């Protein structure tokens, strides 16, 4: 696990919607949790099941190399991802984003970690 300072450093280098190539490393409970992804950073990536297609048979299998977008990076020291390939994205993504993350279109390209003092 990385330190808080290292996590902050990693986050400062990321932007919402930034595309990263990753390898699916674990699908613990297909259809129930999500998938774990290695994107070559010191922290792991995760795609929540809500962003994956149904049925779970359409999820990328372990070992699949594909593109992911940075969706979130909070204090959990884990990069939250969204599939960039429409084949691996939930069919209702536009409705999902409008309901649960309506600011997403305006966030794409914005830094994940705000500049120091940006909230003050």
Q: What's the pTM?
A: 0.91
Q: Is 12 exposed, middle or buried (0-12, 13-18, 19+ CB in 10 A)?
A: middle
For 94, residues 6+ apart whose C-beta sits below 8 A from its C-beta are: none
Q: Which residues contact 22 (CB under 8 A, 6 or more apart)?
A: 37, 38, 39, 40, 45, 65, 66, 67, 68, 81
CATH fold of the domain at 4-107: OB fold (Dihydrolipoamide Acetyltransferase, E2P) (2.40.50)
Candidate from 29-43, 83-97, 105-119 with smallest mean pLDDT: 105-119
SS3 22: strand
Which tens digits make up the pLDDT trace of 84-103?
999 999 999 999 999 999 99
Report how far residue 115's alpha carbon sits from residue 21's, in angstroms, rounded to the nearest whole number: 26
Q: What percent of the chain has pLDDT over 90?
A: 85
């Amino acid at each position: 696990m990385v330190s808080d300072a290292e996590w902050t450093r990693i986050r400062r280098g990321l932007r919402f919607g930034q595309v990263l190539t990753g390898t699916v490393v674990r699908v613990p409970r297909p259809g129930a949790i999500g998938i774990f992804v290695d994107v070559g950073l010191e922290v792991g990536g995760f795609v929540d099941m809500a962003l994956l297609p149904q049925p779970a048979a359409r999820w990328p299998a372990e070992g699949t190399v594909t593109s992911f977008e940075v969706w979130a990076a909070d204090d959990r020291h884990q990069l939250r991802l969204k599939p960039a390939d429409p084949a691996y994205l939930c069919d209702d993504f536009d409705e999902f984003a409008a309901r649960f993350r309506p600011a997403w279109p305006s966030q794409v390209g914005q830094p994940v970690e705000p500049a120091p003092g940006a909230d003050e």
